[in-house]
Chain A
Amino acid sequence: MTSTWSSLSPTTISTSETMARTNGKKGKKGFLNPKLPSSRLQVAGEPSDSTVAVTLPSESPGSSLEQLVVPIEPVEIGDPGRAARLHVPKFDTRFPGVHDTVFDGYRIYPDHERNSPTLDVRAASVRGISHRHEGVVRQDSYCMGQSSQGRYLVVAVADGVSNASLSHLAAEQTVCSIVAGLAERIDAEHPDQIDWCAEFRTVVTQSWLGPLRDHLTSVVGDPTRRLLLERNPELPEDFDVVQLSDSELGAVMATTVIVAIIETADEDGAGHRVWLARVGDTSGWLLRRFDASATGQVAEGSAPEPEPAEKDDEVAAVMSIESSIETVIETEPEPVPQGRWSSLGSVKNDGEQIAESGTAALPSFHDRSVFTDLVRLDSGHALVLMTDGIGDPLGGGSGMVGDHIAELWSDPPAPLAFASHCDFARKSFDDDRTAVAIWPIRGPRG
C-alpha cells in the first residue's frame, strides 16, 4: 500500500500539473516531465482532479515493459505557430513507399554473448509539417548497423536537399550504403584509416545510379528525365545515368550526410571513441546529461516537507501528490548548468549577418567541406546526430529548445516518445526532422 503511493508521490504527473506549469500562457500546452519514468505518467482526468492516478506495476527504469507504455503528448516549445495547428498532412502520390515517420530503439551489446549492454540508441525521422502540408515525401533518412564482430556501431544521418526532386532517394541510399559498407569492413580496417572523401564519392557512384536509372524509366520519372535533358541539351534522348556530370546529378539528387562510428565497448574507461565525418549542415553534438544522482529527484531537495512514509492513508497520498506538484512548479526553472550542448564542428549561421539556408552536399562537394572529428563519449553524455530540421531551432543549444530537448533526452526515452519529441511544434520550423541519439549505459543497473 505504502509503496505504491509513496513511489508515486514524488514523481506522478497529471494533466493538472501540465496545465499548472503553463498557466497563463494562452493556447500553449505543457510537456510531460521526461525525467519521470514513463509508466508513471498517468493522465488523471479533468484539470481539477489531480487525485486520480493509476500506476502500473513498479518496474526498474529502462525495462522493456516500461518502454511499451508511452503517453504521447504533442510537444510544443514556445509559440507553436499557426502551421502546427492548421497544416493538413497529405500523401506524396509519386512515392507511395516512403513513410511519414520511422523510429527505432535498440540496446547495443559489444559482443555476441550479449551479457552486458553498453549503449542505448534511439532514432527517429519525422516528416516536417511543410512537407506534410505540401504532400512531399520526407527527405531525411537515417541508418545504423553494428560491425560483424560487434566492435563498432555505425550510424549515418542524411538530409536530402529539397530543391532536387529525388533527394529522398539520395539520402536513403547514402545512409544505407555507407552503414552497410562500413559495418562489413570496419572490424578489419581501423576507423582512423577511412578516407572519408573517397567514401562519400564512392557512395554516390555505387548506390545512387541504380535507383535513379529505375526512376527515370518509370512513368513518374519522366519530369526528372525532361529536366536533365533541358539542363544538358547535348545529352541524347536515351541517355544513361552514368553520362551525368556531378552537377547534373546534383540537380535531381543531393544530400548532406553525417556518419559516426562508435566503439561499443569503453575499454579504457575514458569513454567510447567516436569517429565522425560529415558534409553539410547535418550536425553532431555531445549532450551533457543531467547528473544521475539528481535524475528523478527534482522535487526532493526543495520539497517543503517530505511526507513521512508511514502516512499511508489516501488523504496523505493525495496531499503528497499535490505537494509534489507544487514543488515541481516552484523549482522551475531548475538551475540548468551552462553549456549542455556541445557542437562537434561549427554551428550553422553562427556569426552570419543574414541567415543562409544553402549547404554543402553530395554529390558536388569539395574535399575541404568534409569535416571529421574524433571524440570520446562517456556516460555523462549522449551523442546526438541530427538534421537541420532540429539543428536550426536548436541553434547553439543554449536556449529554450536546447534546454527542453536536453531534459527530454537526458536518459533514453521510449522510442515512440523519442519520435514525438523530434516532432515538436515551434513556430517557423517546419523542415523534416531526424535525430539519432546514443547513450552509454551507466552503472550496474544497466
Chain B
Amino acid sequence: MAESLDDSQKLLPFYLLCDVSASMFGVLDDVNQILPALTVALERDPIICDKIRFGVIDFSDDARLVLPLCELLDQETLPALSCRGGTNYGAAFDFLRTQLEQDVNTLKADGYLVHRPAVFFLSDGSPTDAESSWRSAFANLTQYDKQTDQGFAFYPNFIPFGLNGCDPRLLQQLIHPTQPKERSMKMFLQAENQGAAEAVTTMAKLLVNSVVKSGAGLAGAGGIVLPEKGDDLDVVIVEPDDDLYL
C-alpha cells in the first residue's frame, strides 16, 4: 500500500551555518567535534533520532553545502570543516534560503510533515560584505507575512552563536523570530575568561541539548527549546530585547 500525504512523518530539520573565515582557524577542530557529539547523543536517544535531520553549511567568501540534510545515524563518515577567506554574511543567508526552500519542498513532496527549521549560526567576526547586501539577504531569508503569503514561508528559527571577535549588537539583530515572546529565539556569546575552543565545546553541548529537547517537544506544544538564563551553562545568553553594553 503506497504511503500518501496522510502518512506524513514528523520531521524537525536543524542546520549548522558555520563561519570558516581565516580567523576561525584555531577553533575549527573543536567545531568539527560537534557532529560526532551529536551523533553520540542521538544514538543514546532513540526517541529523538527518528524525528530530526541535520545539515551543515559553511561560509566565507561563498557558502557551501558540507553535509546535506540527513539522518546523522545513517552517515558512515562525517565531513570536517576547513578554513578559507573572508566573512560574507550575504552569501551565507542567500545560500541558506535556497537550501531551505529546496530541502523543505523535497521533504514535503516525500510526504513529511516538516516543522520549522532551526539554524545555529556560528561566527567570530563581522561581515566583510556590504551591510545593505547582507541585510537584504537576511530579510529575504526571514520575512514572511502569513496573511498574504508574501515572503519566505519556510523562514527558519535563527539562533546566533558569537565567538570573541564577533559584533554582539549586530548578531543580536539576527535573532529570529523575536516575537511572540514564547516563540522568540536567543543568541549565545562566548563567556568571559573562556577560550574559544572551550566556548565552542559549550555551544556544541548547548546545540545537542537543544536538538534533543526540541525533538522531544514535537510530541507536545513543540517549538525550539533553548537554555534559559540561570541554567548552569558557561555562556552568555542574550534575548532579542536585551540591552547590550559590551
Contact = CB atoms under 8 A, between A and B. Distances in A.
B33 interface: no
Contact of A353 (B49, B154, B218): B154
Interface residues of B, number: 33
Interface stretch (A36-44, A290-298, A425-433): A425-433
A399 B4 contact: yes
A133 B219 CA distance: 13
Chain A's interface size range is 35 or more
Contact of B4 (A129, A400, A432): A400
Contacts of A427: 9, 50
A82 B3 CA distance: 19
B40 to A, nearest CB: 15
Given A397-B6, A399-B3, A432-B219, 4 more contacts: A83-B46, A395-B7, A399-B6, A428-B218
Contact of A429 (B3, B10, B116): B10
Interface of A: 78-79, 81-83, 85-87, 128-131, 133-134, 139, 161-163, 333, 349, 353-359, 389, 392-403, 426-432
Given A395-B6, A403-B1, A163 B220 contact: yes
Nearest to A354: B116
Interface string B10-25: 1100000000000000
Interface in B49-86: 49-51, 73
Contact of B46 (A87, A333, A397, A429): A87
A202 B51 CA distance: 38
B222 A358 contact: yes
B91 to A, nearest CB: 25
Given A354-B153, A354-B154, A395-B8, A133 B46 contact: yes
Contact of B1 (A86, A333, A354): A333
Contacts of A355: 10, 113-115
Nearest to A163: B221
Which 10 interchain pairs have the tightest Cβ spacing? A162-B220, A357-B222, A399-B6, A395-B6, A86-B46, A399-B7, A353-B153, A399-B4, A81-B50, A431-B219
Nearest to A332: B1
B125 interface: no
Contacts of B2: 400
20 contacts: A78-B3, A78-B7, A82-B49, A82-B50, A83-B46, A83-B47, A87-B46, A87-B47, A129-B47, A133-B47, A134-B47, A162-B217, A355-B114, A356-B115, A393-B7, A398-B6, A399-B3, A403-B1, A426-B9, A427-B9
